[in-house]
Structure 1
Amino acid sequence: MPGRPALLVAIYMGGVGIGVVLSGLVVPLLPADGWRLGWLAMGVLAVAALIPAWLGARAVAEPPAGHAAVLTGAQIRRLGPTFGWYVLFGAGYVSYMTFVIALLRSQGLGASVTAVFFVVLGVASVLSTLTVWGHLAGRMTGGRAPALVAVIVFLGVLPVLLLPAGRFAALLSAVVFGASFMAGPTAATVIARRMLPQTVWTAGIAMLTVAFSAGQAIGPLVSGLLSDSAGGITRGLWLSAGLLVAAAVVAVFQREHS
């Protein structure tokens, strides 16, 4: 599907949802120290993935000889709002993912509910990424797609904060959040491919990934500090919601370039 890069990115991102589903199904069946088996299984799968990755790499044309392409200062400034959005989005979404289970358990929801929560979240992620976001991200211009993603993920955080504690709030949050959180990397990749020359696609996506990773590192740290304060876990998750709103606002300032 060379003419449908957004869909290809969505298919790739759909693997995250599949992993979340498998975790929700398998983890409850493991003994207390079963996390070790989980890490070993991930290692085995990573090694197995080398085979299709190697075959795919062989099918890609060799890049032109010369120095590795890097972004110019003008190109970095061109994507400035997207970089800012991606830092804030990474911090906001991963803070929720880090602490939501602790919140649900503090509300009295047991292991079976948290397992179902992850399965529902993963299924919503796979279905929406493959059927909606792969097409939508490729059609929306400027920063509209990133802004929309941040808003929907924000809405996905709210049920566990505003609704009465229970299964309904947890599963509603899982559906809305799951249906949108992996659309962030999809939107970022599509923007880089659309607004940068092909020669610097790899460099652009790499720099965006660094921004995303920085947010993922900072978000749980700050959210964790707030969660340990008088406001508890709820206060940390409100920070997650605030970061996602800020991400949406920043994304709006991304103009279309070619």
Structure 2
Amino acid sequence: MSSNATIIRSNLSLLPAFGLGLGVAVSVGLARFAYALLLPAMRESLNWNYVAAGSLNTANALGYIVGAVSAYFLLQKIRPSQLFITGLLLTIVAVLATGLRSDLLWLTATRLLAGIGAAWVFACGGALVAARYHAHQTLRRVATGLFFAGAGIGIAASGLVVNPIIAMLGNPAWPTAWLALGVVAAIASVWPILEASRIAGEANAVSSGALNLRGLMPSMLAYFLFACGYIVYMTFIFAWIQAQGLSWKFGTAAWFVLGSGVAVSPFIWRRALDMWNPAVILAASCFVTLLGALLPAFFASAPSIILSTALFGSGMFIAPSSVAVLVHRALESNQWAKGITLFTVVFSFGQAIGPIGAGWIADSAGLTRSLYFGAALLAVASGLALIGLRRVSERMQD
């Protein structure tokens, strides 16, 4: 059978992974990253500075911490599929509620709840994909990448929903945009909820036993720094595009390219996901996002911004995919959900730190300097992942 026929057959059998990936589209693409599109309108309408704007993303990231930490313990009592579905429902409610009031306390609370729901979806979904493809190991890695790449669908969809509303109705229409996102989130959640309810197997069982993290700490630290760095770009890139005087239509196009890059990334990285050491995949994904983050800072032109979003999108969700592959290879199947959740805890702390630091830099030295800050963190993350390569290799050989 030709390689093309094999890919076609594989893609058809990847539909369950795609369905579960719509959970990431909702919890990450719509609930988290859509805020970058709404940030300029909310900042203008509510008279915020960049620190205040960044603090809402930090509230979301703190919710992600609460969700990740709580998931680590909840998975000792309930199945990943149950927590996944609960997280999706919580995210839908939080997104809808964000459009109901404009006071900072309310918005902080809704962003916090959205973060909790997203963490439950993100942490449990990787284990559910592994359970679904437990008997198809040749597909499991690309299925894992496809699950996380579901965020790209949400990113692209958020641009198509939010930007026309703000363009037609003005900055004060940001609550309408959040309500529209909530409706889209509710519709998109039907398939992943049905898919999660069908999954059985050991990887969907209650987690048990202590995790053995020997050899995994460098990768964990690299993942932390990746979270600190990538979230800077995702929080402020749309505001940076607007600061260059480019139109909302161009901003929508750039955002759509970014989401499309995420969506196709598991196929671009298919051979790497199949054959490379997970530490090398993590380092490479950090480096690709680093290139994407630096391009607009050095070359403030429309073509460089499009190339930047394409590069950044193609590498961004390969990092969590590499971590999921690492956990699958290093831990027993009944600990996959717990292991991915622990990495998600580390990731969530990084996401909480990044926007505040970048917001302070943006207020004092401009948005371009904040992009430099995020890129520097991604560079260090890539180096650390390579430093930990030998330890990861030894661990997987045991």
TM more than 0.5: yes
The answer on 1:147 being equivalent to 2:147 is: no
Gaps of 5+ in 1: none
Q: 1:90 aligns with which of 208, 227, 240?
A: 227
Question: Deviation per CA, 1:221-246, whole angstroms, max 9, x where unpaired?
Answer: 111111111x2111111110100001
Residues 1:241 and 1:134: Cα distance change in structure 2 (over 3 Å): same
Q: Is the 8 A contact 1:27 1:34 kept in 2?
A: no
Question: Which segment is superposed worse, 99-108 or 211-220?
Answer: 99-108
The residue correspondences of 1:1-258 to structure 2 (distance < 5 A) are 2=133, 3=136, 4-30=139-165, 31-32=169-170, 33-48=172-187, 51-61=190-200, 63=202, 68-72=207-211, 75-129=212-266, 131-163=267-299, 165-229=300-364, 231-252=365-386, 253-254=388-389, 255-256=392-393, 257-258=395-396
Distance 2:244 2:194 in 1: 48
Q: Is the 8 A contact 1:6 1:135 kept in 2?
A: no
RMSD: 2.2
Query: Aligned residue for 2:16?
Result: none
Higher RCO (CA < 8 A, seq sep 6+): 1
Question: Deviation per CA, 1:15-37, whole angstroms, max 9, x where unpaired?
Answer: 21111111222222212344334
Cα distance, 1:52 vs structure 2: 3.4
Question: Which segment is superposed worse, 13-22 or 88-97?
Answer: 13-22
Question: Deviation per CA, 1:125-150, whole angstroms, max 9, x where unpaired?
Answer: 21223x12244223211510000000
Question: Deviation per CA, 1:47-84, whole angstroms, max 9, x where unpaired?
Answer: 445543443344333659x9742443xx2233111211
Question: How many residue pairs get matched?
Answer: 252
3-state SS in 2 of match to 1:61: coil
Give the counterpart letter for 2:208 in structure 1: A
Distance 2:241 2:185 in 1: 31
3-state SS in 1 of match to 2:277: coil
Distance 1:192 1:212 in 2: 14
Residues 1:247 and 1:11: Cα distance change in structure 2 (over 3 Å): same
Indicate the percent of aligned positions where both proteins have the same amino acid. 31
Distance 2:309 2:207 in 1: 41
List 4+ stretches of structure 1 deviating above 6 A: none
Give the counterpart letter for 2:378 in structure 1: L
Q: Is the 8 A contact 1:17 1:125 kept in 2?
A: yes
Q: Is the 8 A contact 2:280 2:385 kept in 1?
A: yes
Question: Deviation per CA, 1:131-188, whole angstroms, max 9, x where unpaired?
Answer: 122442232115100000000100111111111x221121111111111111111111
Residues 1:107 and 1:53: Cα distance change in structure 2 (over 3 Å): closer
Gaps of 5+ in 2: 1-12, 14-132
Cα distance, 1:199 vs structure 2: 1.9
Give the counterpart letter for 1:241 in structure 2: A
Cα distance, 1:191 vs structure 2: 1.0
Q: Is the 8 A contact 1:96 1:237 kept in 2?
A: yes
Question: Deviation per CA, 1:172-228, whole angstroms, max 9, x where unpaired?
Answer: 111111111111111111111111111211110001111111111111111111111
Distance 2:298 2:303 in 1: 12
* Higher fraction of helix: 2
